[in-house]
Structure 1
Amino acid sequence: MNLFRLAGDMTHLASVLVLLLKIHTIKSCAGISLKTQELYAIVFATRYLDIFTDFISLYNTFMKLIFLASSFSIVWYMRSHKIVRRSYDKEHDTFRHVFLVLPCLLLALVINEKFTFKEVMWTFSLYLEAVAILPQLVLLQRTKNIDNLTGQYVFLLGAYRALYIINWIYRYFTEPHFVHWITWISGLVQTLLYGDFFYYYFLSWKNNKKLQLPG
């Protein structure tokens, strides 16, 4: 494992911890899209089907368990916790995420590296993760005013994917035959979706103002 991969994983983990901190400590999920959290739960559930069959390392297994447990915990909090769910902005979180799931599944059935159940599900998780942030970004655009923890959560998610792209570039030049087009294209699409958010995030940081996205 190289430094960029480790930094990406730690940034991803930090994004989850920031979100759990917001939900568990403040008892609020204001500004957080339940639709995006449900999509991430599906992403991890379909990606880590090999968790009990293919052992790679303790680190790998630990990270898989962390992301599985945290994603489903967040969904549970937002759906079932009496206090937390009161702050959920259902009125603005109306993105039809089924229109993301079905096309990604169909695409995975058509374009994959190997037509087996686990491989198709893994490919589906890549396609779905690439667009899973869309409901969250749409929600932020509709509400416009974004609290610090929500802004940090989305920024860390985007930074995690950007670091993974650097990791792939590094591995391409240091490892022979390291070519994964599906992973690369999906990751690039996902990172590009954060472009607008990154711009306004750095603008707010530079000017020391509250983060706002244009409607």
Structure 2
Amino acid sequence: MNIFRLAGDMTHLMSVLVLLLKIYATKSCSGISLKTQELYAVVFLARYLDLLTDFFSLYNSVMKVVFIASSLAIVWCMRYHRAVRRTYDRELDTFRHYFLILGSFVLALIFHEKFTVQEIFWAFSIYLEAVAILPQLVLLQRSGNVDNLTGQYVFFLGAYRGFYILNWIYRYFTEAHFGRWIASISGLVQTALYADFFYYYFISWKNNAKLKLPA
């Protein structure tokens, strides 16, 4: 494992911890898209099917279990925890995320590296993760003001993708058979989706002001 992947994993983990802190400490999920959280739960469940068949390392297995468990816990809290679900912005979170699931699955059936169940679901998870943030970004644009913890959550998610792009560049030049082109292209698409958010995040940080996104 290189430093870029480790940094990516840690910022990804930080995004989850920040979101859990917001939900459990404030008993609020205001500003958080349930649609995005459901998409991430599907992403992790589809990608980590190899937990049942392969063992790479203790670190690898633990991280996979953490991301699956945390994503399911977040979805459960937003749907069924009495205090938390009352704060859910249902009227703003109306993105039709089922189309993203369908489109990603069709892409996986057409563009994959090997026609096996595990590889099809892996490709599906990569395509879906590339666009899973869309409902969250749309909700933030509709609400305008972004609270500090929500802003940090999205920031760490974007940073995670940025570090993974550096990881792929590093592996391309150091590994003889690195050919995960699906992950690389999807990662670039996903990172590009964060560009607008990062611009306004930087402006608010520079001016020491509250983060606001244009509607």
Q: Would you call these one fold, judging by a TM-score over 0.5?
A: yes
Q: Compute the TM-score of the two structures, normalised by the length of structure 1.
A: 0.99
Q: How far does the alpha carbon of each residue in 1:11-61 deviate from its partner, in whole angstroms, 9 at most, with x for none? A: 000000000000011100000000000000000000001102100000000
Q: Which amino acid aligns with 2:184?
A: W
Q: Which residue is 2:36 aligned to? A: 36
Distance 2:35 2:144 in 1: 18
Structure 1 residue runs of 4 or more that deviate by more than 2 Å after TM superposition: none
Q: Which residue is 1:144 aligned to? A: 144
Structure 1: stretches of 5+ with no match in the other structure: none
User: What's the CA shift for 1:175?
Assistant: 1.2
Aligned ranges for residues 1-215 of structure 1 at < 5 Å?
Answer: 1-215=1-215
Q: How far does the alpha carbon of each residue in 1:139-190 deviate from its partner, in whole angstroms, 9 at most, with x for none? A: 0000000000000000000000000000111111111121211110000000
Distance 2:90 2:100 in 1: 19
**Percent identity at matched positions?**
73
RMSD: 0.5
Q: How far does the alpha carbon of each residue in 1:112-144 deviate from its partner, in whole angstroms, 9 at most, with x for none? A: 001111110000000000000000000000000
Q: Specify the SS of the correspondent of 1:50.
A: helix
More divergent stretch after superposition (173-182 vs 97-106): 173-182
Q: Specify the SS of the correspondent of 2:176.
A: coil
Aligned length: 215
Structure 2: stretches of 5+ with no match in the other structure: none
